[in-house]
Structure 1
C-alpha cells in the first residue's frame, strides 16, 4: 500500500511539472493517435471522465466525438464508490462534482448502460506493460470495469509508462494504452 501511495505522488508530480507547451504538444499527439485508431473508429459511444487541469485534456476528445456524431457519456460518482455514466450532449449538462471534477446533472441527462459504452477511457497517473495503472486510490474505475466487456483504453504520456506496477486482487487491467509514442494493444 505504501508503494502505491509513493507511486501515486510520483505520478501526480510528473503531470503537474509538464510545461504547458509540452503538455499541449503531447495532447495533440495523443488525440491524433486516438482519432486514427481502430478502437475509436469502431466506437459509437465513448465513456470518459472530465479531466482535471493537470490531466490530459478530454474536451478535445469530447468535441471530436460530437463532431463525428458519437455518443459521449460521463460518470457521476456514487456514495458506494461506484459510478453511473450519463449521456451528455452539452457542457451545460455538467456541474462541479466530487473531487472538483465536472460531473453530469442527472436531471439534465439520460443514464448510459455499461453494455452500451463501446470505448471507455480509463484515467490514471502511471501505467505498465500489463495494463495495470495507479489511479487516485478510490477504486472507482476498478469497480466499474470489473464486469465491463467492451474496449478499455488509457491515455498517457510515455513518461507515465513503467515496466511494472504493484497490482492487488481488485486492480483491473486496461486493454489498450495510448502514449505519445503510439498505440499499445495489451490484450495480446
Structure 2
C-alpha cells in the first residue's frame, strides 16, 4: 500500500517531469551549455580529481561536454553502473574515453559490462547528482529507485552538485529520511551554493 509520502512524491515527480519535457530541444541545448559551463567554472569541480558523473537522458541537462572536459583535464571519470536493480544498488565505474560507452537501458549511454573498473566511493571527490527536482535547501527528488540515496552516504569525501533546468527547482520538495542533500545546484538562471 502506498503511503501519503509516496503519493506526494509521485505527484511532485510527475509535475517536474512534465515541466522538463515541455522544454523545446533548442532551449534544452542552450540551457545545458550554460549550466555545464557553470559547473566547469566552479571551484569544487576545478580542484576535483575523481569525478562521478552521469550520461544524461535526452530530456535532462546534457552532460557530455562535462564528461569530455573532465577527461581532457586528466581527472579520473566514473559513471554509474547498476549492479542490483531489484535492491537499488549501483557502483561508480571508471572510463578513460567517451568512446567506451554503449547504449544501455532506457537509451542512456552506459559502461560496457566487459569493461567495468569499480572505484572506491571514498576516493570520489566530486559527484554530479541527477534528479527530477531539487529545492533551494539542496534536497532532491529522484526517479524513485533509490540508487543515489543508497550510494551517496558511502561517498563521504564527495562534493555533491546538481544540474537541472530552472523549471525543476522548487522552494521545497517532498523528502523522507533517506533523501540526500546536495552542496550546490546549477540551473540556467541560478547558482545555489549551500
TM norm. shorter chain > 0.5: yes
What does 1:156-167 correspond to in 2, within 5 Å? 156-167=164-175
State the alpha-carbon separation in 1 of the partners of residues 70 and 154 from structure 2.
25
Q: Is the 8 A contact 1:33 1:182 kept in 2?
A: no
Q: CA deviation at 1:183?
A: 2.1
1:181 aligns with 2:186: no
The equivalent residue for 1:85 is: 92
After TM superposition, give the deviation of residue 145 of structure 1 in Å: 0.8
Structure 1 length normalisation: TM-score? Answer: 0.92
> Is 2:53–2:127's contact at 8 Å kept on the other side of the alignment?
yes
1:103 Cα deviation (Å)? 2.1
CA distance in 1, matches of 2:145, 2:21: 20
Mind listing any 5+ residue stretches in structure 2 that lack a counterpart? 1-5
Look up the SS of the partner of 1:83 in the other structure.
strand
**Any stretches of 5+ residues in structure 1 without a counterpart?**
none
- TM-score normalized by the length of structure 2: 0.90
- Corresponding residue to 1:31 among 36, 39, 57: 36
> In structure 2, what is the Cα distance between the partners aligned to 1:97 and 1:157?
24
Mapped partners of 1:182, 1:39: distance in 2: 17
Displacement of 1:136: 0.6
2:163 to 148, 155, 158: 155
Alignment match, 1:116 = 123
Mapped contact 1:85–1:112 kept (Cα < 8 A): yes
Are 2:58 and 1:53 aligned? yes
Question: Conserved in 1, the CA contact under 8 Å of 2:36 and 2:63?
Answer: no
CA RMSD of aligned residues (A): 1.5
Q: Secondary structure at the match of 2:131?
A: coil
Deviations 1:149-188 (A, max 9, x none): 22001111222110011111111111111121232112xx
What is the aligned residue count? 186
> What is aligned with 2:134?
127
Q: Which residue does the alignment assign to 1:101? A: 108
Quote the Cα distance in structure 1 between the aligned partners of 2:36 and 2:98.
20
